[in-house]
């Protein structure tokens, strides 16, 4: 089967690496791709509006859409309308990520545990509602904002300023509508499920580190590292998440005529009252995919095609290996602000000789040299019997890389490493 992968990040490099191992694969194309993805796929330059034509010309058997933007914009619908098999939800179903207000309303209808909230389309009404939420309060731009559309002010003045900023266009059109939420206290974890709209199978847990600085401090990023599994999500809690959050979501979407097909990525808050939904993503996580793929020994082409064909009910559910995986993101200096471009990267082979895998995100080739071309540049990924062992292996590989204009956190996985130490003690 010929497969076309859409995207250019570390997530897509991890997917390409795993897709390329499938015995079912005859040829992998990727667009736009990156130099890491090019190790496994032929890169093609196809504009979004030409994807359907390319899929038809090349007789593509499966299109895998990595990022949220094309999903929210309806790329999966266009391909399906043309009879092409696609892994990824329709635009109507991708609203679970594309509109926070849509998801909150669905939670209310389906009685899914989540933070209390109200939706607003003007600043005065939003400000007037603030006293009802207390402090801290959570203020979100409704639409896609690359993970940056959430503010958690500690004072009323900051909250009012955040509301003005969102309605004033600080997050572009994503802020035309604003959701105000109750603040939930607890530890966060991510849970992944594959669904074809009817059958749902769990596909692992992870915890990522969104803040740029050690000890989870500083501004939010797309994710500075992750590990899997997240043992804080015990089998009992996972069962609750499936039954109270994922199952009612998938059933309600189907009942309302918007069946969800693809991967559903639930951001969860583990509160004193049990797991609650923070948000959904309509795609695999980045860098969570890097650790999930490092634990998946199965045939990814067949699995994603089974999801796309609605055959999940007929297959043996996928399993992730018992081993732990941990990934450390190396970002370019300046990230999450303006990243330094063009810094030379060396030592990837040396790092991979340690047994780790270096997934590339914002990289490019310039005069035959690998250079930085984005915020998050590399995701250095290793496995081990425990998260602590995977952490040691990942940092040994990080230290083999020579990238003077990059930086990484040195404490990825710290919560789990502490928990593991506690279990042994
Ligand atoms: P989101 O983009 O919705 O995942 O939000 C980004 C981050 O904001 C989450 O990972 C949480 O750390 C935090 N967050 C979002 N909503 C809440 C909430 N209701 N209570 C506490 N923290 C939240
Ligand atoms: N790592 C967070 C995300 O993929 O949304």
Is residue 222 within 8 A of residue 234, CB to CB? The reply is no
Q: What radius of gyration, in Å, describes the C-alpha atoms of the chain?
A: 21
Neighbouring CB atoms inside 10 A of 220's CB total 16
Looking at the CA of 286, name the nearest ligand: 2
In angstroms, the CA 376 to CA 52 distance is 30
Mean pLDDT confidence for 117-138: 91
Cβ of 138 less than 6 Å from ligand 1 = yes
Mutational test site, ligand 1, from 102, 114, 135, 150, max ligand atoms within 8 Å of CB? 150
CA distances from 26 to 23, 86, 101, 196, 409 (A): 8, 17, 42, 24, 39
In tens, the pLDDT along 236-248 reads 999 999 999 999 9
Looking at the CA of 221, name the nearest ligand: 2
Neighbouring CB atoms inside 10 A of 181's CB total 20
Neighbouring CB atoms inside 10 A of 2's CB total 15
Measured by CA distance, the residue closest to atom 5 of ligand 2 is 285
Query: Can you give the pTM of this predicted structure?
Result: 0.96
Helix, strand, or coil (residue 106) = helix
Report the chain's mean pLDDT, rounded to a whole number.
Answer: 95
Is residue 243 within 8 A of residue 167, CB to CB? The reply is no
In angstroms, the CA 112 to CA 120 distance is 21
In tens, the pLDDT along 128-152 reads 889 999 899 999 888 887 767 888 9
Residue 107 CA to ligand 1 centre (angstroms): 16
In tens, the pLDDT along 262-301 reads 999 999 999 999 999 999 999 999 999 999 999 999 999 9
Map tokens 């996580």 to a residue. 285
In tens, the pLDDT along 331-355 reads 999 999 999 999 999 999 999 999 9
In tens, the pLDDT along 185-235 reads 999 999 999 999 999 999 999 999 999 999 999 988 999 999 999 999 999
Residue 292 CA to ligand 1 centre (angstroms): 22
Is residue 152 within 8 A of residue 133, CB to CB? The reply is no
In angstroms, the CA 300 to CA 306 distance is 10
Share of the chain above pLDDT 90, in %: 89
């Amino acid at each position: 089967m010929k497969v076309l992968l859409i995207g250019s990040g570390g997530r897509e490099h991890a997917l390409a690496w795993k897709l390329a191992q499938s015995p079912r694969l005859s040829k992998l194309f990727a667009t736009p791709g990156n130099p890491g993805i090019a190790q496994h796929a032929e890169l093609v330059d196809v504009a979004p509006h030409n994807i359907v034509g390319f899929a038809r010309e090349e007789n593509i058997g499966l299109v895998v859409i990595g990022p949220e933007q094309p999903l929210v914009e309806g790329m999966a619908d266009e391909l399906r309308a043309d009879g092409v098999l696609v892994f990824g939800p329709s635009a109507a179903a991708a609203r679970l990520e594309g509109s926070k207000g849509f998801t909150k309303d669905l939670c209310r209808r389906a009685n899914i545990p989540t933070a209390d909230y109200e939706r607003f389309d003007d600043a005065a009404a939003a400000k007037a509602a603030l006293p009802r939420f207390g402090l801290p309060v959570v203020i979100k731009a409704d639409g896609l904002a690359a993970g940056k559309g959430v503010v958690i002010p500690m004072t009323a003045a900051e909250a009012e300023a955040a509301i003005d900023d969102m309605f004033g266009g600080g997050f572009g059109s994503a802020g035309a509508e604003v959701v105000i939420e109750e603040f939930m206290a607890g530890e966060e974890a991510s849970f992944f499920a594959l669904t074809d709209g009817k059958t749902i199978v769990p596909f692992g847990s992870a915890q990522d580190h969104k803040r740029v600085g050690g000890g989870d401090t500083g501004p939010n990023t797309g994710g500075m590292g992750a590990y899997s599994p997240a043992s804080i999500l015990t089998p009992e809690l996972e069962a609750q998440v499936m039954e109270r959050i994922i199952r009612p979501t998938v059933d309600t979407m189907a009942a309302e005529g918007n069946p969800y097909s693809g991967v559903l990525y639930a951001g969860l808050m583990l509160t004193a009252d049990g797991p609650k939904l923070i948000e959904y993503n309509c795609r695999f996580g980045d860098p969570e995919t890097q650790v999930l793929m490092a634990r998946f020994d199965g045939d990814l082409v067949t699995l994603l095609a089974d999801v796309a064909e609605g055959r999940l009910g007929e297959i043996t559910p996928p399993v992730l290996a018992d081993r732990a995986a941990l990934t450390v993101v190396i970002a370019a200096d300046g990230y999450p602000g303006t990243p330094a471009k063009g810094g030379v990267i060396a030592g990837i082979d040396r790092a991979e000789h340690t047994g780790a895998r270096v997934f590339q995100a914002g990289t490019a080739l310039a005069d035959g040299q690998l250079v930085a071309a984005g915020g998050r540049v590399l995701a250095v990924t290793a496995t081990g019997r425990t998260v602590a062992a995977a952490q040691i292996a990942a940092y040994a590989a990080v230290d083999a890389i020579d990238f003077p204009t990059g930086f990484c956190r040195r404490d990825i996985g710290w919560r789990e490493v502490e928990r593991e130490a506690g279990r042994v003690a």
